[in-house]
Amino acid sequence: MTIYDIAEKAGVSASTVSRVINNKPGIKAATRDKVQKLLKEYNYTPDENARGLVNKATKLIGILMADIRNSHHSELAYVVEKKLREYGYCSLILNAGYEPKMMAESIRILEQRKVDGIMLVGSAFQNDIVEKELRERMSDKPVVMANGYLDLPNAYGILVDERDGIRQSVDLLYSKGKRKIAFIVNLGTPSSYEKLHGYEDGLAKHGLSEEKMIIEVPETTIESGFIGARELVGKHPEVDAVICAEDLMALGVIRILNELNIKIPTQMAVVGVNNSVYGEVSFPSITTLDNKMSETGLMAAQILVDCLSGEEKPHKIMLFSTLVERETT
Amino acid sequence: MTIYDIAEKAGVSASTVSRVINNKPGIKAATRDKVQKLLKEYNYTPDENARGLVNKATKLIGILMADIRNSHHSELAYVVEKKLREYGYCSLILNAGYEPKMMAESIRILEQRKVDGIMLVGSAFQNDIVEKELRERMSDKPVVMANGYLDLPNAYGILVDERDGIRQSVDLLYSKGKRKIAFIVNLGTPSSYEKLHGYEDGLAKHGLSEEKMIIEVPETTIESGFIGARELVGKHPEVDAVICAEDLMALGVIRILNELNIKIPTQMAVVGVNNSVYGEVSFPSITTLDNKMSETGLMAAQILVDCLSGEEKPHKIMLFSTLVERETT
DNA sequence: TTGCTTTTTGCAATCGATTGTGATAATATT
DNA sequence: AATATTATCACAATCGATTGCAAAAAGCAA
């Protein structure tokens, strides 16, 4: 069923049918009705690709993900896709992985598909190769990064203030009477240093800078939690609270504390980061920093559609993290 | 950069450029080289939409998901997208939710986008409304269902044999000396009955049919696990093993058993279903049935591309589940 | 050089839409 | 009734590709 088929059946020209479909003026009510009935009857839907050809807008948005299986990423993708759909956009989702080469390749694919804009999900896309590829192939289209920032004239970034979040965690622990607060972290990513600064900010705020106790671990896994917890209870028995830079590590810490029969939160309070699925089902359930994935995604999608309709938008937006208090505090 | 721009710069016609791009024969080596150099130099990539218009193949695959945030679904989407990409297809992912109305709406969108085929992720799409919509709008395109089956001439389904899987669980428990094996389930979905039959099969196989003990719970949540576990230890103290129709329920059961100081697996063994993320980080870690998501996705994607290239394929494929033995047995 | 193949290449139509411009029909004005 | 004015509509070009067919160029034999 093409527009011509409908036109023939209605005894009018294709242009008239097109004008009816797009609600353009200058069509007699009678013919409009006649055409509309035919459209319904034959269940006609316009070919969006053909439309895109002449309109120079495909209503397609490329969504680049590092790993869709990562629950934070899929949470973002979920709200982004939903919001975009509300505005009539379709989401072309590509799993680009963590290799910059593959990311660049994916950007090429999106260029070929003539997407109207790009959404980058996850901070993994903050690298030179991606930046170069975007500069070369997407300089005229809005690029929005959910959970990160790129310094390009057409790029927009939404991120959560992790530094402030960790500072809040320190506040909370302080308010619970904790004075010896340790920090377990795998230093390496920019984000981990942000968190570290937040930890230092928090301590400083309460005059606890002298008590700083950073335990570095090799990864951000549950096993790293084991390692961190053992070091903690072994070498620093005076510690009464610990902030883990990731929920998964908090999970490991809790496991060890349970085994050693150390009471949570009275003897030792635990705070995680990221509000992951583990936090809720853990025993005891984990107090954690909400990563604001839904808000980030919503905001990112909104900025994208707004840019697409010509509005001016700020290039960098910070969201504040909030604490999700549960049993470990 | 269009094909015409390149043609002009090369001093040839657009058709020649097209033939070079598509490696068609009948082009002099010299002109081929000249054109290819220009293509490289100007970083040309063909407009896939324009291509699709004349080729009547968009190289787009619509992926309908009930909920991309569900880790099993995203696992499927991951492998599917990856495999499809290998064959030059792009994935148009739509989150259709669990409402048939929205699913139908999504199918309409995919028709508009002229996708070459459709992948349905999750058994939620096994319903009449979706079937009707597919029959009306997608009758000429392959439809593949990962983790389910639809009875349409152009539909293909890949599913795991959950019945056999649960039977295997009974086998395992029997081999561990367990003779009083209970089954906690929320009956309602077709899948839950499959599992129930597997449980019965397993008992029958070992002459344990008399010992059948089914505990129905209202949902498939961790709380349902609590409920099931309490009923179990309260009313049936003789039980020495329990199969939970979902990992999340197993998690709840374990929590209760831990609280009551019932030793796992000696006093009570626990088996879950689905190999979810919880099973691994739980304490003790959960023995569970692998849902074969990667295999299912891989197979589904392969069938889709094979159908698209004209091959004949079976319409229903069963994968066997395997046990992932961990600490709870 | 002429005539005949065989390669190369360009023209023009096509895919399914949209849209500016001009033609035609309907209505209004005098 | 003749003319001016609108309201409707159709024609044709266009978007960026692909492809059958015919034309031009090149190769070859005589």
pLDDT digits (tens, 9 = 90+) for B103-119: 999 999 999 999 999 99
> Would you call A93 and B94 a contact, using CB atoms and an 8 Å cutoff?
no
Nearest-CB residue to A93 (from B75, B81, B111)? B81
CA of A254 to C1' of D29 (A): 93
Q: What is the pLDDT of residue A91?
A: 96
Q: What strands lie across the sheet with B316-320, from one edge to the other?
A: A316-320, A155-161, A143-146, A117-121, A60-65, A90-95, B90-95, B60-65, B117-121, B143-146, B155-161, B316-320
What number is the average pLDDT over the span B47-51? 96
Q: How far is the CA of B53 from the C1' of C13 (A)?
A: 14
Helix (H, G, I), strand (E, B) or coil at A12: coil
Q: Which residues are paired to B323 by β-bridges?
A: B289
**Bridge partners, residue B146, by sequence:** B121, B158
* pLDDT at residue A196, as a whole number: 98
Residue with CA nearest D26 C1'? B28
User: Average pLDDT for residues A30-57, to the nearest whole number?
Assistant: 95
Instruction: State whether the beta carbon of B11 lies below 7 angstroms from any atom of strand D.
Output: no
Q: Which positions on strand D lie below 7 Å from a protein C-beta?
A: 7-12, 14-20
Q: Which of A46, A68, A114 sits opposite B112 (nearest CB)?
A: A46
Chain A partners within 8 Å of B85 (Cβ) = 94-95, 109
Domain A3-46 has CATH 3.40.50.300: no
Mean pLDDT of chain B: 96
pTM for the whole thing?
A: 0.93
Q: What is the tens place of the pLDDT at every residue in A180-195?
A: 999 999 998 889 999 9
Q: What pLDDT is stored for residue B281 in this prediction?
A: 87
Average pLDDT over residues A66-95: 96
Ramachandran bin of A130, using left for φ above 0, alpha for ψ from -120 to 50, beta for the remaining angles: alpha
C-alpha closest to that of B93 among B108, B79, B110 = B110
The residue-averaged pLDDT of A260-282 equals: 95
* Mean pLDDT score of chain A: 96
A71-CA/C16-C1' distance, Å: 40
For residues A220 and A232, give the distance between their C-alpha atoms in angstroms, rounded to a whole number: 16
Task: Give residue ranges of B with CB < 8 Å to any A CB.
Answer: 43, 45-50, 52-53, 58, 67-69, 71, 74-75, 77-78, 81-82, 85, 90-95, 108-109, 111-114, 136-137, 222, 248, 251, 255, 258, 277-278, 281, 283
How do strand B287-290 and strand B322-324 relate by DSSP bridges?
Answer: antiparallel
The residues of B between 28 and 67 with beta carbon within 7 Å of nucleic strand D are 46-47, 50-51, 53-55
Q: Do B68 and A78 lie within an 8 Å CB cutoff?
A: yes
| pLDDT for B276 | 93
pLDDT of residue B203: 98
Work out the end-to-end distance of chain B between its first and last CA atoms, rounded to an integer number of angstroms. 63
Amino acid in position B288 = T
Q: What share of chain B is helix, strand, coil (3-state, %, to 5)?
A: 50, 20, 35
Fold type of domain A162-290? Rossmann fold (3.40.50)
Nearest-Cα distance to chain B for A207, in Å, is 37
**Considering only alpha carbons, which residue of chain B is nearest residue A258?**
B283
Backbone φ and ψ of B273, nearest 5° = -140, 130
**Residue B259 to chain A, least CA–CA distance (Å):** 10
Cα angle A323-A165-A237, degrees, rounded to a multiple of 5? 85
10 Å CB burial of residue B177 (0-12, 13-18, 19+) is exposed
pLDDT at A152 over 90: yes
The tens digit of pLDDT for each residue in B67-113 reads 999 999 999 999 999 999 999 999 999 999 999 999 999 999 999 99
Residue B127's pLDDT is 94
CATH class, range A56-160+293-320:
alpha beta
The pLDDT assigned to A70 comes to 94
Strand partners, A48: none
B284 to each of B178, B247, B274, B307, B325, how far by Cα in Å? 18, 13, 17, 44, 12
What's the pLDDT score for residue A283?
Answer: 87
Cα–Cα distance, B299 to A186 (Å, whole number): 38
Give the per-residue pLDDT at A281: 87
pLDDT over 70 for what percent of chain B?
100
Write the pLDDT tens digit of every residue in A203-230. 999 999 999 999 999 999 999 999 999 9
Q: Which nucleotide is nearest to A7 (CA to C1')?
A: D10
Strand, coil or helix: what is A146? strand
Q: What is the distance between the alpha carbons of residues B132 and B290, in angstroms, rounded to a whole number?
A: 32
Task: Give B243's strand partners.
Answer: B183, B271
d(CA A133, CA A155): 13
Can you read off the two tokens belonging to residue B228?
A: 């099931």
Q: Return the sign of the alpha-carbon dihedral for residues B209, B215, B221, B224.
A: negative
- Span B132-157, average pLDDT: 96
- Please report residues of A whose CB lies closer than 8 A to that of B45: 108, 111-112
Q: Write out the residue limits of the CATH 1.10.260.40 domain(s) in chain B.
A: 3-46
The per-residue pLDDT for range A238-269, each reduced to its tens digit, is: 999 999 999 999 999 999 999 999 999 999 99
Beta strands of chain A (E only): which ranges?
60-65, 90-95, 117-121, 143-146, 155-161, 181-185, 213-216, 241-244, 269-273, 287-290, 316-320, 322-324
- pLDDT at residue B37 tops 90: yes
In the predicted model, is pLDDT for residue B150 greater than 90?
Answer: yes
Quote the pLDDT of residue B283. 87
- B194-238 pLDDT, tens digit each: 999 999 999 999 999 999 999 999 999 999 999 999 999 999 999
Percent residues over pLDDT 90 in chain A: 96
- pLDDT-based confidence at residue B153 (cuts at 50, 70, 90): very high
Is pLDDT at B51 greater than 90 in this prediction? yes
Q: Where in chain B is the domain with CATH 3.40.50.2300?
A: 56-160+293-320, 162-290
Which nucleotides on chain C have any atom < 7 A from a protein Cβ? 7-12, 14-20
Residue of B nearest to A247 (CA): B281
Average pLDDT over residues A171-184: 98
